[in-house]
Amino acid sequence: MRNGYKVYDSDTHITPSAEVLEPFLSRRIQELTDLDQYKVPIKTGLAGETRPEPWSHNYRFQPIPGWQGGAIRVLGEAAPDPSRKRRFQTFRGKVHPTEGGQERAEVRIKDMDTEGIDVAFMVSLGAEHHEDPEVQMEFIRAQHRFFDSFCSYDPHRLKTALVPTPVDVKGSVEEIKRWGNASWCVVIQPYFPPDFP
């Protein structure tokens, strides 16, 4: 509470590293693909700070234009411009997010207390698009299991989205039925593949 008002942060992110997400993945994923080929080191923190080695990793199946190595396209331009480089936004906070806040709920809650945030809606950035719908669905299931574990630390303060995909409607409906009433699930945020109509 701040001045009698409850403070909601509706644009914080949650992206568990590959190392943290792995225990939530099913055995089936190992049969479908070699995950090591998709690991990329996390060299930059949430506020643009440079992370020291040893790095943890994210899974990246394909780059997101302008954000993960793809060419940047500016509104009004006909196509991405490969010569344009992405700049990190200027961080406006007083302290950088604590390392581990993406993966350990007690760290996230401590940062929320420092910032005066009562409830955080965490935008999921982890359900990347894989060319194999079964691989993508395995990652979505793992992500939901992670959310359930993470948010159960303080279910009244930690909220996020359920992330179905149109490439597996049946699997997505099953996930909605499984998690739709979970305390952390406050919205459904479909993940559409690039150029999906």
58-72 residue pLDDT tens? 888 875 554 555 677
Q: Which of the two residues, 195 and 55, has the higher pLDDT score?
A: 55
Q: How confident is the model at residue 8 (pLDDT cuts 50, 70, 90)?
A: very high
Average pLDDT over residues 14-26: 92
CA angle, 78 then 80 then 83, to 5°: 125
Q: Which region among 10-14, 16-20, 177-181 has the lowest average model confidence (pLDDT)?
A: 10-14
pLDDT at 4 over 60: yes
The residue written with tokens 């568990």 in the block is 16
Alpha carbon distance 17, 105 (integer Å) = 14
Residue 142 has pLDDT above 70, yes or no: yes
Mapped onto helix, strand or coil, the DSSP state of residue 22 is helix
Question: Is residue 155 a contact partner of residue 183, using CB atoms and an 8 Å limit?
Answer: yes
More confident of the two residues 187 and 98: 187
Amino acid in position 188:
I
Tokens of 102: 């993406």
Q: Measured over all CA atoms, what is the biggest interatomic distance in the chain, rounded to whole angstroms?
A: 54
Q: Where are the alpha helices (DSSP H) in the chain?
A: 18-21, 28-32, 105-115, 133-151, 169-179
**pLDDT > 70? residue 158:** yes
Q: Is 70 exceeded by the pLDDT of residue 182?
A: yes
pLDDT digits (tens, 9 = 90+) for 79-108: 888 777 766 667 777 777 888 888 899 999
